[in-house]
Amino acid sequence: MTVRVLLADDQALLRGTFRMLIDSCPDLEVVAEAADGAQAVELARAHRPDVVVMDIRMPGTDGLTATGTICADPELTGTRVLILTTFENDEHVARALRAGASGFLGKYVTTDALLEAIRTVAAGDSLLSPGATRALIAQFLATPPPGPAAAPAAAPGLGDLTSRELEVMKLAADGRSNAEIAGELHLSVLTVRTHVQRAMAKLGARDRAQLVVLAYKSGLMSPD
């Protein structure tokens, strides 16, 4: 199945370069290009892409605002956002996670890494590297959104998870890859992936990144 991609970047030359790279792959296809966040939202609703490759700094509506709008749209539940930016820092990662992004990459990545990132996000996996997961989630929790502080609240559906699904979810939130979880629990990687997907479905998580965020927000896991 071909992964349909929307490119959102204010630099036309960069969009053209990305289009050439992506369209050169038989399993990937660019369906539209946006020059700002507002246009990205409009084109996402028109084309329903599998993945939006989104820059952060664009004129008018920025990429993080557009990401939040896309991820909150019930008509775009099948669309995932991959943030690709030269401005890679913890604050942007935290805001991207809050907005609902499924992945975050710096523009210094190699061509192969970018193409694989698109495939990874389209498959419903988080692009956050296992080794960086805990640090990113800690930053996410250390910079709460404006408003009165709230105690951790159990995510709806958390009680529906089996003991094995909870175990796998905790290990994922601890920064383990599927292969590492499989080795620790003496399961196959496919079985671990199935448990992750079932936990995501029960909790209404768009992808692995959101599943990890839910583990911390619900108090199931602590940055400590």
Write out pLDDT tens, residues 31-49. 999 999 999 999 999 999 9
Mean pLDDT of the chain: 83
What is the torsional sign of CA 186, 129, 124, 77?
positive
pLDDT over threshold 80, residue 164: yes
Residues 165-216 pLDDT 10s:
999 999 888 777 788 889 999 999 889 989 998 998 899 887 777 787 788 7
pLDDT of residue 216: 78
Which CB contacts under 8 angstroms, 24+ apart, belong to 72-76?
72/100, 73/44, 73/45, 75/45, 75/48, 76/44, 76/45, 76/48
Shortest CA distance to 107 belongs to which of 171, 56, 147? Answer: 56
pLDDT over threshold 80, residue 93: no
Minimum mean pLDDT range among 65-69, 73-77, 136-140, 190-194: 136-140
pLDDT of residue 76: 94
* Percent over 90 (pLDDT), the chain: 42
Top pLDDT among 101 and 69 is at 69
Query: What is the pTM for the complete model shown?
Result: 0.69
Delineate the domains of the chain, giving CATH numbers in brackets: 3-127 (3.40.50.2300), 158-217 (1.10.10.10)
pLDDT of residue 90: 58
pLDDT of residue 131: 43
CA 145 to chain centre: 19
Q: How far is 86 from 122, CA to CA, in rounded Å?
A: 22
